[in-house]
Structure formats: structure tokens, C-alpha cells
Amino acid sequence: MWRTQVLHLQGRGVDVHALDLPGHGSRMDEEWSLEEAFATLDRALRSAGEAGPVLLVGHSMGGILSTAYLARDDAAPVAAFVAVGATALPRGAGLALYRMLLRGMQRMPGNGMWLVQRILRATLPEDTRTDLGAGGYALRSEDAALASLATLDIRTALTRLTMPVWFVNGEWDQLRLHERLFTRLVPHAELIVVPRSTHLVTTMRPAAFSAVLDLAIAVVESTAAQA
């Protein structure tokens, strides 16, 4: 699902890594584990950090997990952080409803993939439409992954983010639920709302999101030059 951004950054000569968390993508056969998800982030960030400043970008669950990881005392240093479609506290009725909808889809014929494909055809550009499911859909792991998010203290984690931060949401993103709270808890963060986009902003408006990455990279490079 990051194909467009990976190609864009590679074209700029930026070293870029798209990670698969346990139970997702190339690791679909693994069981979901919150600690292994954090360990995956940690290994990747420490390895990338050997080459220079690191910009961490996380979408949806990846953005929420990254927020929690960066608040850890032993977290690998990052120069900046972009959280995409991740301004919601993973708890309460909202999370319960999301999990209920997911389980309902899994009871449909073909796990509801016919409905997913119809929605994607109606909302995503043709050149990115197949990117979203290119690594497969992690239906088996998703409920356990969502349940584990409820154990995270995201509110406290947000107050510990000291690096440059961007919160990026699509105009019609359902996870804008606590957008004001997030920007209040991270007062130095910049909020960017991408017009005419849903939660799938990286594939629905890929050029706009690549421009956000260019902005973040420019800040990282400027800070490194000053240092």
C-alpha cells in the first residue's frame, strides 16, 4: 500500500523501508503479538538510524503503534514522525464497533472481499487500487491486533513526543475522532487535512501525501544541517 510513496522517495535518493508487522503482509502466517510489533519497529529504526536521521511514518494502526513506541524510555531515536489516519484513542465504543464490523465482514461469503473491492473501485484511483490489497488482507490477525491497542496509553504517549510531528488525516477519515485532543496534547505538532480523501489517504491522494513526506524530509534535513 506504500508503493507510490516508496517509488517517490527512491526517486529522490531517500533510503526507504516499508515494514510488515506480525500477522500482516509477508508475515501473514505469524500470530499477532504487540511486543513483536514493537520489536519490529525497534529493529528497523535502529538499523536505519545507523545511516542517518530517521523519519518514521505510520498509517492507522501503524501510526497508533508508533506513537506508543516512541513514548518508551528505550525507544530508538527518530528525527521526525508522521502519523496518518491515527488521531483516535483505541478504546471504548468506537473500537468495539470497529471490531464488530470486522467480525461481521468475516462472516460474509468470501470474507466480504466482494464488498471491499466494490468500495475500492468506487473510491481509489485506478493506478493505486490494487496496491491496498497487494500484500493480502490480514483478516485473521486484525481482531487480535485491534484488541491489543486498547492496552496502550496513547494519551500519555502523546505528551512524550518531542520530535517534529505531523498528524495527517483525510477530510472524511473516521479516525479524526480525537483530532483536537491529539493536537492539544502535542502542541508543536502540525495538523494536515487532505481534502476529498477518506482514511486511505496514501492511496486515494498519493501525490498529496508524497508532498507531505517531502515537507517532513525538508525539516529533517534542515535540522540535521543546523546541528
- pLDDT for residue 86: 96
State residue 14's pLDDT score. 96
Retrieve residue 220's grid coordinates: 529533517
Low-confidence ranges of the chain (pLDDT < 70): 93-99, 101-102, 104-106, 111
Give pLDDT, residue 37. 97
Q: What percent of the chain has pLDDT over 70?
A: 93
Run of H or E residues at 81: strand 80-84
| pTM (predicted TM-score) | 0.92
Predicted confidence at residue 123, as pLDDT, reads 87
pLDDT tens for each residue of 99-113: 676 676 667 777 677
Question: Grid coordinates standing for 213?
Answer: 513526506
For residue 146, the model assigns a pLDDT of 87
What is the C-alpha to C-alpha distance for residues 201 and 85, in angstroms, rounded to an integer? Answer: 8
**C-alpha distances in angstroms, 32 versus 35, 39, 77, 141?**
9, 12, 25, 6
Choosing among 3.40.50.300, 3.50.30.30, 3.40.50.1820, 3.40.50.150, the CATH entry for 3-226 is 3.40.50.1820
CA-angle at 161, arms to 156 and 166, nearest 5°? 115
What pLDDT, on a 0 to 100 scale, did the predictor assign at position 105? Answer: 64
Domain boundaries, the chain: 3-226
pLDDT for 133: 84
